[in-house]
Amino acid sequence: MEMEYKDPGRRGKWIILFGVVLAVAAAGAAFYLINNAQQQAGRGAAKMTTAVVAAKPLPAKTTLTPEDLIVRSDIPLDSTTSIPGMVATTKDDLVGRILGVDVAAGQLMTLNLLASTSVGGQFPILGPGETVAPDSDAWRAISITVPDDHAVGGMLAAGMTVDVVVTESVKAPPGAEPSAQPGASGSPSPTPTPKASVSAVAVYADGLSTKVMYQKMRILARTGSSYVLKATLPVAEEITQTVLDGGVFTLLLRPDQDARILDVSGLGATTARILQRYGLLFPERWPAGGQIPSNPPIPSITPAPSPSNSGSPAPSGAPAASPSGG
């Protein structure tokens, strides 16, 4: 009988190939298991810290309140959160501070997001896009005290724009000649003639004078009746002198849309000018030497037209004279 011949070399090749496949599979499984174990071990060993994040989207120049912030204790300790003094850990670190940039909801509240990181730097003096250049204005922050009844009922806040009215007690220069009759620059109203004869030449007198002095000033911060305003160095000097002179400030709120700087050279108010412009009566001693005329009667109300009469109703009488210039 003839025996069948089988090549042992060919069988050995298949054995070697099968061994290589098993080795590759074992190596892949080992890599996966080791890598997964390392990841799980890394997660379990990660250190956490407490930090403050934004509770909602916050635009730049927002004055932070407790409702804007959330304290979380699951913030990973990394190269940023481990920097001393970089991350706020309590709401008190941020409440009342002003953001210098926009912040997204959930963003970590690091102190470099604030307009100022220095102690006491609660507000920015320069606005977005403003820089210091050789020819730029020297902007400064200056504070004035304004009671609520002179500050729109106390409803002004940081970020608003105001005009500043100043009232000062003015002393008449001795022997000074007047340049014009009081009220000449502001109103064509006739000057009331008192019963007693007076000099035909107007003279200056001591009294209060009110004027719009500064326009479009930005409120940087407010604490009670103390307002911090953005001003140039010359204006800061003038405000300081006005405070020392005992001047009284009044703040007028401007609409955000009104960016005009108006010509106020013809404005200004004194008691005499108001008396002349609106025809206010001069007080007299009582009983007076002569009879004081009574007020004229108030015209009757014009009746409504009847349904049968489509024409315009006749006037009920001449209207009362209105104050000139009012």
| Cα→Cα distances 267→102, 116, 166, 270, Å | 42, 39, 12, 10
Contact present, 249 and 150 (Cβ < 8 Å): yes
Question: Is 247:166 a contact under the CB 8 Å cutoff?
Answer: yes
Task: Express each pLDDT in 218-273 by its tens digit.
Answer: 998 888 899 999 999 999 999 999 999 999 999 999 998 999 999 999 999 999 99
Q: Are residues 84 and 186 in the same domain?
A: no
User: Using CB atoms within 10 A of its CB, is residue 140 exposed (0-12), middle (13-18) or buried (19+)?
Assistant: middle
Mean predicted confidence (pLDDT) in 41-52: 72
Q: Is residue 321 part of a domain?
A: no
**131 located within any domain:** no
Residue 310 pLDDT > 60, yes or no? no
Which of these ranges, 89-93, 110-114, 169-173, has the smallest mean pLDDT? 110-114
Whether residue 319 lies inside any domain: the answer is no
pLDDT beyond 70 at 198 = no
Same domain, residue pair 81 and 163: no
**Does residue 222 sit within a domain?**
yes
Chain mean pLDDT for the chain:
77
Tokens coding 116 = 């100022």
- Same domain for 254 and 165: yes
Distant-in-sequence contacts of 229-237, Cβ < 8 A, 24+ apart: 229/141, 229/142, 229/143, 229/144, 229/162, 229/164, 230/125, 230/139, 230/140, 230/141, 231/139, 231/140, 231/141, 231/142, 232/137, 232/138, 232/139, 232/140, 233/138, 233/140, 236/140, 236/142
The answer to the question of residue 30 being in a domain is no
Does residue 20 form part of some domain? Answer: no
Mark whether 77 and 163 lie in a shared domain.
Answer: no
Residue 26, SS3 per DSSP: helix
- The reply to whether 298 falls in a domain is no
Q: Are 244 and 145 found together in one domain?
A: yes
Range of 85's domain? 48-113
**Domain boundary at 255, 278, 301, which?**
278
CA distance 110 to 295: 71
Does the pTM of the predicted model rise above 0.85? no
Is pLDDT at 183 greater than 60 in this prediction? Answer: no
- Evaluate whether residue 13 is within a structural domain: no
- Give tens-digit pLDDT for 258-295: 999 999 999 999 999 999 899 888 887 776 666 767 77
**Same-domain check for residues 154 and 208:** yes
